[in-house]
Amino acid sequence: GRLLNDRYQIKEKIGGGGMADVYLAKDTILDRRVAIKVLRLEYANDEEFIARFDREAQSATSLSHPNIVTIYDVGEEEQILYMVMEYVDGMTLKEFIQRYGPVDVPEAIEIMKQITAAIAHAHENDIVHRDIKPQNILIDTYGHIKVTDFGIAVALSATSLTQTNSILGSVHYLSPEQARGGLATKKSDIYSLGILFFEMLTGRLPFSGQSPVSIALKHLQSDTPSVRRFNQDVPQSVENIVLKATAKDPFHRYNTVYEMEESLEVALSPEKINESKYVPPT
């Protein structure tokens, strides 16, 4: 492969979406694998996309947490903007769910605890992720979680400057207040975390429909379906976490991701985790 900046040897493409591609590469100086996110060439002269890419790099580099993908380097070569990051050898949580189906309750809670720890750290730094979905959660071969893709994240201090009401993230994880046209807040991340938890426990999305608009309407109007209807192994206490995170009214949700993390911790205790199971009399 070609060398980027005389240092990074590009191997294969491992992902990408609308505005960027992600490659597996080798850092020839430190002799290790890295992932490099590159702004697509067609956007090399597009001020808006350059600004967005810069914002992503800024948000991601300002965070330092074991459950957030580490950014090693940001640079530019011949108009190509790139971001060098920790390579996560594994798969996305989406692929994980597709491959193995609903995740066992204790494992789903373990995974959620790592994701909430990452988002709590972002929130402490006043960064709202806005694009929490299984495609943006990486899981390595040891089951360690790394949250990635701060592509549409916003710093709350700069909200008025950069945040628009336009819906940028996936409609499947869209909070009711955003569906209504409001700005994304920490509470809207909590809503997306609840939808993500639902998906892990059931292997399906709570709301689907013919069009993005019909899905957005369901986030606004339809009750979150019962997790236990799709997976009888889920204790009521765990279903309650999904329900509280996905409350329509932000005031009825967890106040902080940290609070949600605490509920997950309690749900993992032996008395709680066995709640739904039949215990034979002794």
Q: What letters, b where the CB count within 10 A reaches 16 and e where it falls short, cover 34-66?
A: bbbbbbbeebeeeeebbebbebbbbbbbebebe
Is 131 annotated in the active site? yes
Q: Of 22 and 105, which has the nearer Cβ to ligand ATP?
A: 22
CA distance 97 to 183: 30
Q: Which of 46, 131, 140, 189 is catalytic?
A: 131
Question: Tokens 């869209």 label which residue?
Answer: 174
Within 10 angstroms of residue 90's Cβ, the number of other Cβ atoms is: 17
Contact between 8 and 34 under an 8 Å Cβ cutoff? The reply is yes
Piece in contact with ligand ATP (CB under 6 A), picked from 18-26, 194-202, 231-239, 269-277 = 18-26
Is 168 one of the binding residues for ligand ATP (CB under 6 A)? no
Is 87 one of the binding residues for ligand ATP (CB under 6 A)? yes
State the number of binding residues for ligand ATP (CB under 6 A).
22
Tokens of residue 179, six digits: 């569906």
Contact between 112 and 193 under an 8 Å Cβ cutoff? The reply is yes
> Min. distance of Cβ 39 from ligand ATP in angstroms?
9
> Min. distance of Cβ 67 from ligand ATP in angstroms?
13
Is 143 one of the binding residues for ligand ATP (CB under 6 A)? no
What is the footprint of Mg ion within residues 102-121 (CB under 5 A)?
Answer: none
> Min. distance of Cβ 68 from ligand ATP in angstroms?
11
Task: Give the contact letters, 132-151, x = binds to Mg ion (CB under 5 A), - = no.
Answer: ----x------------x-x
CA distance 269 to 240: 15
Is 149 one of the binding residues for ligand ATP (CB under 6 A)? yes
71-77 and 32-39 beta bridge pairing:
unpaired
Nearest in space to 266 (alpha carbons), one of 142, 115, 112, 101: 112
Is 39 one of the binding residues for ligand ATP (CB under 6 A)? no
C-alpha to C-alpha distances, 100 to 5, 203, 254, 281, nearest whole angstrom:
40, 9, 29, 34
> Which residues does residue 13 pair with via DSSP β-bridges, in sequence order?
23
Piece in contact with ligand ATP (CB under 6 A), picked from 83-91, 108-116, 120-128, 218-226 = 83-91
Question: Tokens 């329900």 label which residue?
Answer: 243
Piece in contact with ligand ATP (CB under 6 A), picked from 17-25, 102-110, 191-199, 251-259 = 17-25
Candidates 1, 16, 106, 182; binder of ligand ATP (CB under 6 A) is 16
Applying CB under 5 A, which residues contact Mg ion?
Answer: 136, 149, 151
- The residues of the shown chain that bind ligand ATP, judged by CB under 6 A, are 14-20, 22, 35, 37, 69, 85-88, 92, 135-136, 138, 148-149, 151
**Catalytic (active-site) positions:** 131
